Amino acid sequence: MSTYFRNIYSTIRTVLIGMHITLRYCFAKTICVQYPDVAPTIQPRFRGFHWFEVQKCIACDQCAKACPVDCIYIEKTAARKLDKASGVAMGGAMVRYAIDYSKCMFCGLCTSPCPTECIHMGNLHDLSGYDRESMIVEFVELAKQGLQTPQPAWMHGVNRTNQLGAYGEQIPEWAAQTKVAWEESARPHREVMLKAMTEQKPPPKPKPAKPAAGTDETPPTKAGS
């Protein structure tokens, strides 16, 4: 009998706890924004779709090896090496650098081992598309268009009237400004980005510095010579 009443008490108590939480959120301040009309607030350390500097990439595969879901694909024609003087990688041509965002979990593990610091987590949070193929971003193809980061399809000014009935050619002001900022940040690098897709003579190997005469570092001579 006591179990019967304990169960009734437990049920009522559980429902009241659940309803208390529900009621609290009913009267809480609304945090939804009318995206894309209103820009979302991006936190400083947000990990969004990548930002890639193809001209610095030496196609060493370190990022692909670090990726826990194997969603980075890299192809080159020959070894590439960073020219420290110019900060640009030379040697073989970059053929492909792609990330499959239907697999990526935005962990950021690919950015840490990069020896040239050319792959970064960006602040783009939206990569809308209509099929899985459009979730594979070809960064080398983007670089040919002078871009370092992908853009959501709706930001291209695509006429979505027939698809969603919400937007025409116009995109919200904040999106237009963001798009210009992305393009402008890549503009100074467009020439070197294009060079990354062609074979360039690798930088010469630095010659070892001659030790100063009379110092302890002078190599020992053969006995009797």
Residues near ligand SF4, by CB under 6 A: 57-63, 66-67, 69, 71-72, 74, 99, 104-110, 113-116, 118-119
Between 104 and 147, name the residue whose CB sits nearer to ligand SF4.
104
CA distance 150 to 127: 8
Helix (H, G, I), strand (E, B) or coil at 60: coil
Between 124 and 171, name the residue whose CB sits nearer to ligand SF4.
124
Between 38 and 69, name the residue whose CB sits nearer to ligand SF4.
69
Between 62 and 149, name the residue whose CB sits nearer to ligand SF4.
62
Between 108 and 157, name the residue whose CB sits nearer to ligand SF4.
108
Write down the least CB distance from residue 206 to ligand SF4, Å.
20
Report the relative pairing of strands 88-91 and 48-52 from DSSP bridges: unpaired
Write down the least CB distance from residue 102 to ligand SF4, Å.
11
Write down the least CB distance from residue 29 to ligand SF4, Å.
32
Q: Which residues of 137-165 are buried (b: 16+ CB within 10 A; e: fewer)?
A: bebbebbeeebbbbbbebbeeeebeeeee
Neighbours of 191 (CB within 10 A): 10
Write down the least CB distance from residue 189 to ligand SF4, Å.
15
CA distance 137 to 52: 11
| Under 8 Å between Cβ of 69 and 104 | yes
Write down the least CB distance from residue 145 to ligand SF4, Å.
19
CA distance 203 to 148: 24
User: In the chain, what is the straight-line distance between the N-terminal and C-terminal CA atoms, in Å?
Assistant: 108
CA distance 55 to 197: 9
